[in-house]
Structure 1
Amino acid sequence: MSQIRKIHTQLKNKEITCTKLVQDRLDLLKSNTHNTVNSLLDTFALALAEKVDAKIKNGQEIGLLEGIPFGIKDVYMLQGTLATASSELLKNYKSPYTATAIQKLLDAGAIPLAKENCDSFGHGSSSENTIFGAVKNAVNTDLVGGGSSGGSAVNVAKDFTVFSIGGDTGGSIRQPAGYNNVFGFKPTYGRVSRFGLMAYASSTDCVGPIAKSIEDIRIILNVMSGKDVKDQTSYQSSEISASNILNAEEIKTVGYFKNFIETDAIDPEIKSAFLASIEKIKATGIQVKELDFFEADTLVSTYYTLAMAETASNLSRLDGTNYGQRIEGENLKDTYSITRSENFSEETKRRIVGGNQVLSQGFSDEIYLKGLNLRDQISENFEKDFKEVDIILSPVTPNTPPKIGESLKNPLAMYLSDAYTVGFSLGQLPTLTIPQGTATGLQITAAKNNDELVLKFANFLKDTI
């Protein structure tokens, strides 16, 4: 059921006022105990709600997204509001401009309620690496909310927001969506402009929606998509219509990576649930193929080698001179050192050190260039696979969410929780988490620019498994 369409109808028919809708959600966000909110945008949101109510009162038409409350992961710029990236360094930083994707939603009339808690700078898979306290899972508060878009996923799951805008570099939308039983979409790289998103790894960063229905994902994706002169990697894409994603007849073959399933690393219950879903798909007449792919360890190593290199480069600008909280030392070099040492989280420092190591003289040829070469091989593998199958299906995660505190003790285990998401990021492919099929959902992936096909298959699976 589309929450957006339901609320749109209620607003149009004057069953609810936009002001009450927004105030009720703000109250829920303010009183919530899941640590999902970094800052509330209450004054801004209520002023926008009043304008929507005035339009409705005057008998004017309102757009589909007009008056719909949403959340924003706290790594996006929204002019005049705090953009902390859940970090000590930027805890008082205010956005001087607005991200393109967020501006498009504002132009469509959507109302932002909060900047949402996440792993600092997107560094983490649990939303525990944050100065605002760990995000708690929507289903079980002893467990992590997933990361790095944990606050965004939990807010949607708990109906604090109708939808939220997360950011996905190696699984940061898809994994928390799986942990909290909601839909999370990473579009094809470049479909949505990255301008105004704090860069983690520029070559895989994606802007995407988290919502409670496939139809809501489609609506939000259409609004955010498009070429942006401020992001040279962005491109013009065609709109995905509501009727187009209801017919999945063109999908004849589905593949899955057998080494994702035939491994000791996967939880036996997730494995058996995934294979049961495969059997249900086969029963509809769709052909299912086992595919060979890179080992999960290779995917994780390749992704983190490149992502750490890119984040070391991207975060080099954060030294307290132009951005963030500066801590004075005895001299300039000392100031840089203290500012970055004191203000970055342990995980962020780990990634910067790792990134600088793989980019350093004597290591870059051996490690970084090897990573780039492997990335090319992974992309070629996908091209080959998508000549044989229309869709690739996989679990979202090898395991269920860990308890809060466990990931902080074992960073390697945290990295390995991304084993099934990072490969699709390296391939820059459109991938959707659906809350079906296993305890942490299923992941649907298609070839580049085939975002529509992903949504078609998601609709098909809704009634199949």
Structure 2
Amino acid sequence: MSSQIKKIHQQLVSKEITCTAFVQAKLDLLKQNSHNTVNALLDDIALGLAKNVDDKIAKGEKIGLLEGIPFGIKDVYMLQGTYTTASSNLLKKYKSSYTATAIQKLLDAGAIPLVKENCDSFGHGSSSENTIFGAVKNAVNPDLVGGGSSGGSAVNVAKDYTVFSIGGDTGGSIRQPAGYNKVYGLKPTYGRISRYGLMAYASSTDCVGPIAKSIEDIKIILNEISGKDVKDQTTYTSELISDETKNDVKSVGYFKSFIETDAISKEIKDDFLATLDKIKSKGIEVKELDFFDADILVSTYYTLAMAETASNLSRLDGTNYGDRVEGENLKDTYSITRSEKFSEETKRRIVGGNQVLSQGFSDEIYLKAQNLRDQISARFSKDFEAVDIILSPVTPQDPPKIGDSLNNPLAMYLSDAYTVGFSLGELPTLTIPKGTNTGLQITADKKNDAEVLHFANFLNDIL
């Protein structure tokens, strides 16, 4: 699909549509939708900004490419004066006192926020069922999950309720729901986009990223929100990605361990191998790579992620943030508040994180996971000496039915088997809705986000 952003921009400039009418139509769709994607509509903000755009056009003033383009925000990002709930009971009445850097950059470019989007509470989940607002329903089949944790964001894009959305990816939370709902979703190189104003889940892998219906729109948004931020010391200065679509990839690798496993469905395996054959037919070398087994990747990721979430969420005790449930004393107040207000999945991750960080276990579990992470990163560096791009399925199975993941948390964790490794490696990875029923992941070495997008354009042409 061609760029929706450029198409809408041209319609606005030529006065074929008004920004107010266009934004109102999107708000009406969001109000009527039955996929549980909405945590809060931003009607007043959106219509006020839309009027400003119409006034500029009426005066003959130029507008920027993103000016007047409506977008959605996963409900883990701060937007000053709006409810930012993280889909949790604890923060259901919390209002942001500031705005996240990535969101502010979009506002500065004139983009219009429409909605705070439903997601797994604090990003804890792979199905967008762990939420006080009701399970997000898949855009293609509402009996299936929308994916997680950025499920509401992916479904809104897929259903054209928003032109694009800003999700958050810690271990696959943009890429997996993008695959489930047949749209594009990018986890950029760690540090390319500021995390300031994003509620922390696992700080060492949290990434801000766009979800859209075209590679061109992913590029436009990525260029706008990337860059160094003094408020996030992990960020770096990055170059703009050009409009060039030429593919310079000479070799593609894939992980044998991802394909030669009973965990992958026959359909996804066959489709993936057929995709590799099409790539070979275009003169690109395809190499089989040895890598860690998926269960090692999942174990390493969740050990570190649970440890970090236990630390990050220790501040949420009802004293400074969120609802407070009074006990007989301060200790009881903390205990009751956190017990009653956190979801079961969040409590599971906090308990697991405290366990691996506790005396007697940290050396045996946490430090071992840290060591494995270093080995995983080193293996990626070695692999990218042999190939330009790594291609993989997004998930080993199709989306589950709503309710199945809640009854089987282990299966939910294992659904992240093909995404978490790239998070641990801090690598840029894009989901495209081609190649298998839940899409393909395109991964390049660190800071090679442009190469990922260029190869995605090439795959779009041949698949």
Cα distance in 2 for residues equivalent to 1:258 and 1:284: 21
Q: 1:427 aligns with which of 408, 425, 428?
A: 425
Cα distance in 2 for residues equivalent to 1:236 and 1:128: 36
Does residue 325 (structure 1) correspond to residue 326 (structure 2)? The answer is no
One-letter amino acid matched to 2:452: V
Identity of paired residues, percent? Answer: 81
SS of 1:392's equivalent in the other structure is strand
Structure 1 gaps, min length 5: none
Question: Which residue in 1 is equivalent to 2:372?
Answer: 374
SS of 2:462's equivalent in the other structure is coil
Question: Which residue in 1 is equivalent to 2:404?
Answer: 406
SS of 1:38's equivalent in the other structure is strand
For 1:60-99, what aligned pairs fall within 5 Å after superposition?
A: 60-99=61-100
Cα distance in 1 for residues equivalent to 2:340 and 2:421: 33
Question: Which residue in 2 is equivalent to 1:122?
Answer: 123
Structure 2 gaps, min length 5: none
Cα distance in 2 for residues equivalent to 1:101 and 1:436: 28
For 1:436-455, what aligned pairs fall within 5 Å after superposition?
A: 436-455=434-453
Does residue 2 (structure 1) correspond to residue 40 (structure 2)? The answer is no
Cα distance in 2 for residues equivalent to 1:236 and 1:317: 31
Question: Which residue in 2 is equivalent to 1:418?
Answer: 416
Q: Deviations over 1:221-243 (max 9, x none)?
A: 00000000000001100000112
One-letter amino acid matched to 2:246: N
One-letter amino acid matched to 1:125: S
Q: Deviations over 1:79-118 (max 9, x none)?
A: 0000000000000000000000000000000000000000
Does residue 226 (structure 1) correspond to residue 227 (structure 2)? The answer is yes
Cα distance in 1 for residues equivalent to 2:454 and 2:7: 21
Question: Which residue in 1 is equivalent to 2:144?
Answer: 143
Question: Which residue in 1 is equivalent to 2:42?
Answer: 41
One-letter amino acid matched to 1:363: F
Cα distance in 1 for residues equivalent to 2:265 and 2:21: 44
SS of 2:113's equivalent in the other structure is strand
Question: Which residue in 1 is equivalent to 2:246?
Answer: 247
Cα distance in 2 for residues equivalent to 1:45 and 1:17: 13
Q: Deviations over 1:39-82 (max 9, x none)?
A: 00000000000000000000000000000000000000000000
Q: 1:263 aligns with which of 261, 264, 285?
A: 261
1:189 positional shift? 0.1
Cα distance in 2 for residues equivalent to 1:234 and 1:79: 22
Question: Which residue in 2 is equivalent to 1:360?
Answer: 358
Cα distance in 2 for residues equivalent to 1:293 and 1:276: 21
Cα distance in 2 for residues equivalent to 1:338 and 1:21: 46
For 1:146-165, what aligned pairs fall within 5 Å after superposition?
A: 146-165=147-166
Q: How many pairs were matched up?
A: 462
**RMSD between aligned residues:** 0.3
Cα distance in 2 for residues equivalent to 1:259 and 1:187: 24
Q: Deviations over 1:10-57 (max 9, x none)?
A: 000000000001000000001100000000000000000000000000
For 1:234-313, what aligned pairs fall within 5 Å after superposition?
A: 234-243=235-244, 246-248=245-247, 250-313=248-311
Question: What TM-score do you get using the length of structure 1 for normalisation?
Answer: 0.99
1:464 positional shift? 1.0
1:317 positional shift? 0.1
Q: Deviations over 1:300-346 (max 9, x none)?
A: 00000000000000000000000000000000000000000000000
SS of 1:463's equivalent in the other structure is helix
SS of 1:72's equivalent in the other structure is strand
Cα distance in 2 for residues equivalent to 1:214 and 1:21: 23
SS of 2:233's equivalent in the other structure is coil
SS of 1:383's equivalent in the other structure is helix
Cα distance in 2 for residues equivalent to 1:262 and 1:58: 62
Question: Which residue in 1 is equivalent to 2:202?
Answer: 201
Cα distance in 2 for residues equivalent to 1:94 and 1:150: 22
Cα distance in 2 for residues equivalent to 1:197 and 1:359: 24
Question: What TM-score do you get using the length of structure 2 for normalisation?
Answer: 1.00
Cα distance in 2 for residues equivalent to 1:196 and 1:301: 28
SS of 1:50's equivalent in the other structure is helix
Cα distance in 2 for residues equivalent to 1:171 and 1:165: 14
Question: Which residue in 1 is equivalent to 2:388?
Answer: 390
Cα distance in 2 for residues equivalent to 1:219 and 1:242: 9
Does residue 20 (structure 1) correspond to residue 21 (structure 2)? The answer is yes
1:195 positional shift? 0.0
SS of 1:10's equivalent in the other structure is helix
1:139 positional shift? 0.3
SS of 1:90's equivalent in the other structure is coil
SS of 2:90's equivalent in the other structure is coil
Cα distance in 2 for residues equivalent to 1:293 and 1:96: 44
For 1:170-181, what aligned pairs fall within 5 Å after superposition?
A: 170-181=171-182
Cα distance in 2 for residues equivalent to 1:333 and 1:200: 24
Question: Which residue in 1 is equivalent to 2:458?
Answer: 460
Q: Deviations over 1:263-283 (max 9, x none)?
A: 000010000000000000000
